[in-house]
Structure 1
């Protein structure tokens, strides 16, 4: 499969050949994408939420009501969950929300996410993502000329410093190196923008070569 390459100025810069097994999948597996996004978000979740149980609440241990004759239930502690200020029954505990997902499934999901952008004509290939100066106004004008409003931009092995500084002030624009490419960020943005170097890095990543 061939994809057209453009410059930041919007001019044609030839074509690039990409692997159909990565960018040309016809039947997109939504279930695989959902499983991978859920796996990513679960790993990201801190899991530090916690409430105090009745054994952790610091209240008096004095028996506040006599055992018999009150006409009410018999209680021996104010720490019980039924009282205001008492412990919480079955509340959240500090834990990890992460779960396992086979590496083959994650690799498959990345290919399906990339193919979904190609299938939806929501992918753009740039010859490079380099600026001589970190000027947000200049970069925003170039994005407007390319029709980029909501996009994930994948640079090469390293993001150009001037490009990153200029892009970080533009809303709905994310810039990542090719090593940071992931399913969640691809799907959360309308357009996927990759450089020629990033396309080579993606191919190397799927091939398992050291250059990835």
Structure 2
């Protein structure tokens, strides 16, 4: 598969041939869905907690006699139906993460890249470098490329000026190639790859 390479100013900078095994697959939504669920579950804090019936401090004395009151047969007031009682089936502190085979994670990333390529939502730029850390200048360049919601993936190292300039632009994220992930790819309307990022991805999946 051949993709056109552009400069940040919007000019043409030739073309690049990318592997069909990474960018030319028939996207499988089931694989992508599994990886996204795994990602979101892994980042969930799991610190939500409520007091169960056993966690409430108080007497366990039966507060009304079994028969003759004309009401229900209650035990102590820690029961969920009473004010101050324990929460019934409330959340407790736990780990939400689950296992996902490494091959499935790798395949999910390939299918996410292929889905973007199929939707014509990948832009390849020569590099992601800025002469100075000016948000206004970078925003103007991105508008020339028609980018309003984008994930920019650079090589192993991100240009410091580019990272600083992009930090205040809404819906624009910048990551090194080792931080690329399925959820962020799908969240952005456009995936912007530098030539260095394409080379690194092809080396990674070789």
TM-score, normalized by length of structure 2? 0.95
**What does residue range 12-51 of structure 1 map to in structure 2 within 5 Å?**
12-25=12-25, 27-51=26-50
> Is there any run of 5+ residues in structure 2 with no aligned partner, and where?
none
Distance 1:142 1:75 in 2: 71
User: How many Å apart are 1:41 and its aligned residue?
Assistant: 0.6
**What does residue range 1-212 of structure 1 map to in structure 2 within 5 Å?**
1-25=1-25, 27-207=26-206
Q: Report Cα offsets for 1:56-107 as digits up to 9, x if no partner.
A: 1123444433444322223331111121110012211111111111111111
Root-mean-square deviation (CA, aligned residues, Å) is 1.3
Secondary structure at the aligned position of 2:54 is classed as coil
The residue aligned with 1:210 is none
Distance 1:33 1:110 in 2: 7
Alignment coverage as a number of residue pairs: 206
User: How many Å apart are 1:176 and its aligned residue?
Assistant: 0.5
TM-score, normalized by length of structure 1? 0.92
> Is there any run of 5+ residues in structure 1 with no aligned partner, and where?
208-212
Distance 1:106 1:73 in 2: 55
